[in-house]
Each structure stands twice: as C-alpha cells, then as structure tokens.
Amino acid sequence: MPAEDFTGSTQGNIGSTLMANTVMVSHCSPTALQPTMDTFPKQETPLSSSLEGAIPTVEKAQLDGVSALWNFFRQFNVSPEVTDIIMASWRSSSQKQYKSYMEKWLAFCRERSVDYYSPPISDNLEFLMGLYTKGLGFSTLNTVRSALSSILRISDCENFGSHPLVVRFMKGVFEKRKPQPKYDDIWDASKVLDYLSTLHPMKELSLKELTLKVLMLLLLVTGQRGQSIHLLTLSVMKLTESFCQFQILDHTKTSKPGHSSTSITISEFKQDTKFCPLTALIEYLDRTQGLRNGEQCLFISYGRPHPALSRDTI
C-alpha cells in the first residue's frame, strides 16, 4: 500500500464514511458538505430566538454525538425539516459509528472548557493523540477525523480534515501504525462444499437444512454481502427455467448517487445438481410458498410463525 494513499476508506470493523471529504492534501480545500468560512454564522451575530441556548458553552453542554451534528446545522437558521434532510445524507450506520467518537470529543471539550465547534487546532490534535495512545490505528482515527470535519470550524482553514497539521499527523500515524487487514487468512470453501454435498437430495431435506443450503449457495455464487441477500424479495424476482434474477431496490453499503439498482442473477449449474443454486432455490420457493402469509422477503424463518429473516440472522 503506497504511503501517500490517504483516502477515507477504512478497514476492520470501521465502515466507509460519507461524512466528509477525507482526501488528504497539503492545503485547505472546501468540501461539498461543509460551507466556506464566509457562510459560517459570525460570532457577534445573535442566533434566532429558537436557537438561543441550543449551542451552550461547553461547561453546560449535555449533547450526544448526533445532537451535536443536528445543532451544528441549525446554526445556519435552516428549518428542522431541512436539517433532517441534511442529516439523512449520512446513513444510520454512519451516524451510529460517529456517535461514540463525537461524544468523546464533547467530553474532552467539557473537561478542558474548549469550544467544541471552534476549538484551537492544538486541542484537536491533542484529542487525536489521546485516542492514538489508547491503541487506535490509522483507519479508526481517519473515521474520527471525518466525523470532526463535519462540525469543526478552524480559524485558519475551512476544513478540519484538510488542515496541514492534521494531514501531517495522520501521515505520521500511518507510518508508525500501519493499517492491518481485517482477516489474517481466508477460510477454506471446500469444507463448506463437502458439507453441502451431503445435503442431498433436496426434497428430503428439512426446511432448516434447505434454508441453510440455499443461503450458503447464494452467498458463494453471487459474492454479495449478507445485507444484499437480506434485501432479495419476491416482488422483483424474475424466474425462468435457466436463471433467476433479483433487483435490489433498497440502498446497500456500496450504493452511490447516479448508479442504478443492483441486479443479482442466479444461473443453473448443470455439472452437479447437488451444488446447483437454481435447483435449490426453486425447491425452497416451493417449500415455503404456503408458509409466507404474504411475506415478500426471500428468506423466512424455518420456525413458526415464519417471519422474514433479519440481516443479522442471515
């Protein structure tokens, strides 16, 4: 991995971020989500009556991470409805990920009596250093940097994340504590295939065995995340003798504006019917047809009353 590649992608248990421009450069550049310094409310301009007390001094602040974000955008005198739309630009998973680090930042500021929206850059760096000394690596600190970039106003830079000192600090973290892969090795798929070959003939399998076999075959042949398999529904399924196609209409982790919906196709595997995902899928659909009670999600529980499987269960 090149030492100069400082994109905002994360590894391990940290998901990708959409919160701020995480491209590290040696100068301060504006972002699409954070306004320029000229558009920030001036310190001497009083807030509207509806916002008075919404941004208290740090000693009185009892905000959580998400509330700090919400209140930040309310400083621009936009309506709560507009603020909600802006907040929706970060998915719930991203908001949940940033929440804990935003709360740590607020606690840090309360302890030091620091303005948590417009602090000195030295305090920002001390906060990152404190997390670094606790063992956090580059990827996690990069996530923290992106979270803070959404609300911090640095006097000599439009964006906290692209401040030259922050860029240098993050490069130093990368050199001293290089990111590690999430997995050290890859599991042997042949062991799973050996087990799946014993689940045959399919008509004699229990509903539990059939469900597990279909699910594993779909994961293997599509290479999709469990989230995508969870979103497969019968309402957008096209089934023929040689293939079955699903359209994923909901957002997934990799969804981006301007990209069409994802299509997943399961084809017939004639070489060995024991491993044919289409044959297994058709048997599963026939077996569960009378158990669905109108449920459109592809996978339902094999236990009564047969509700749709959650993403975590899958």
pLDDT digits (tens, 9 = 90+) for 166-199: 999 999 999 998 777 777 778 888 999 999 999 9
**Taking a C-beta distance cutoff of 8 angstroms, is the pair 123, 81 a contact?**
no
Pick the most confident of 48-52, 79-83, 250-254, 287-291: 287-291
30-44, 120-134, 185-199, 237-251: which range is least confident on average?
Answer: 30-44
Q: Is the pLDDT of residue 27 over 50?
A: no
End-of-domain residue from the set 176, 207, 224 = 176
Query: ∠226-228-231 over CA atoms, to 5°?
Result: 110
**Domain co-membership, 100 together with 225:** no
Q: Could you give the CA distance from residue 64 to residue 58 in angstroms, rounded to a whole number?
A: 12
Q: Could you give the CA distance from residue 157 to residue 167 in angstroms, rounded to a whole number?
A: 12
pLDDT category of residue 45 using cuts at 50, 70 and 90: very low
pLDDT category of residue 216 using cuts at 50, 70 and 90: very high
Residues 99-124 have a mean pLDDT of 88
Task: Examine residue 31 and state whether it is found in any structural domain, yes or no.
Answer: no
**Domain co-membership, 160 together with 63:** yes
Q: Is the pLDDT of residue 66 over 70?
A: no
Task: Examine residue 30 and state whether it is found in any structural domain, yes or no.
Answer: no
**Domain co-membership, 43 together with 166:** yes
**Domain co-membership, 45 together with 157:** yes
Percent pLDDT > 70 in the chain is: 73
| CATH number assigned to the domain comprising residue 52 | 1.10.150
Residues 97-103 have a mean pLDDT of 85
DSSP 38-56: GGSPPTTSPPPTTTTTTS-
Pick the most confident of 13-27, 55-69, 259-273: 259-273
36-45, 210-219, 256-265: which range is least confident on average?
Answer: 36-45
**Domain co-membership, 92 together with 49:** yes
**Domain co-membership, 250 together with 163:** no
pLDDT category of residue 63 using cuts at 50, 70 and 90: low
pLDDT in the model for residue 180: 77
* Average pLDDT of the residues of the chain: 77
Q: Could you give the CA distance from residue 119 to residue 152 in angstroms, rounded to a whole number?
A: 7
Q: Could you give the CA distance from residue 70 to residue 83 in angstroms, rounded to a whole number?
A: 7
pLDDT in the model for residue 44: 39
Higher pLDDT, 26 or 278: 278
Q: Could you give the CA distance from residue 179 to residue 221 in angstroms, rounded to a whole number?
A: 30
Q: Is the pLDDT of residue 46 over 50?
A: no
Count Cβ atoms below 10 Å from residue 289 Cβ, excluding itself: 9
* Strand pairing category for 237-239 and 243-248: antiparallel
Residues 231-243 have a mean pLDDT of 90
pLDDT in the model for residue 60: 42
Question: Residue 105, class by beta-carbon neighbours within 10 Å (0-12 exposed, 13-18 middle, 19+ buried)?
Answer: buried
- Record the tokens describing residue 238, joined without a space: 């096209």
- Record the tokens describing residue 38, joined without a space: 């000229």
Q: Which of 59, 60, 81 lies closest to 70 in space, CA to CA?
A: 81
pLDDT in the model for residue 170: 94
**Domain co-membership, 59 together with 127:** yes
**Domain co-membership, 118 together with 49:** yes
pLDDT category of residue 9 using cuts at 50, 70 and 90: very low
Task: Examine residue 303 and state whether it is found in any structural domain, yes or no.
Answer: no
Q: At what angle do helices 92-112 and 65-74 cross, to 10 degrees?
A: 90
For residue 115, give the 3-state DSSP assignment. coil
Q: What domain range is 253 assigned to?
A: 189-291
Q: Is the pLDDT of residue 15 over 80?
A: no
pLDDT in the model for residue 252: 60
Q: Is the pLDDT of residue 50 over 80?
A: no
The structural domain count of the chain equals 2
**Taking a C-beta distance cutoff of 8 angstroms, is the pair 209, 199 a contact?**
yes
Q: Which of 199, 205, 231 lies closest to 217 in space, CA to CA?
A: 199
Whose tokens are 């026939």? That residue is 286
Q: Could you give the CA distance from residue 43 to residue 81 in angstroms, rounded to a whole number?
A: 25
Task: Examine residue 207 and state whether it is found in any structural domain, yes or no.
Answer: yes
Give the model confidence (pLDDT) of 222-234 as tens digits: 888 887 888 888 9
- Cα 49 from chain centroid (whole Å): 36
- Cα-Cα-Cα-Cα torsion 225, 228, 233, 238, nearest 10 degrees, comes to -80
**Domain co-membership, 143 together with 165:** yes
Q: Is the pLDDT of residue 6 over 70?
A: no
**Domain co-membership, 114 together with 198:** no
- Single pTM value for the model: 0.55
Count Cβ atoms below 10 Å from residue 209 Cβ, excluding itself: 15
* Strand pairing category for 243-248 and 262-267: antiparallel
- Cα 212 from chain centroid (whole Å): 26
Count Cβ atoms below 10 Å from residue 298 Cβ, excluding itself: 24
Q: At what angle do helices 121-133 and 138-149 cross, to 10 degrees?
A: 150
Q: Is the pLDDT of residue 36 over 60?
A: no
**Domain co-membership, 202 together with 171:** no
Give how far Cα 190 sits from Cα of 48, 113, 201, 205, 220, Å: 65, 58, 19, 21, 11
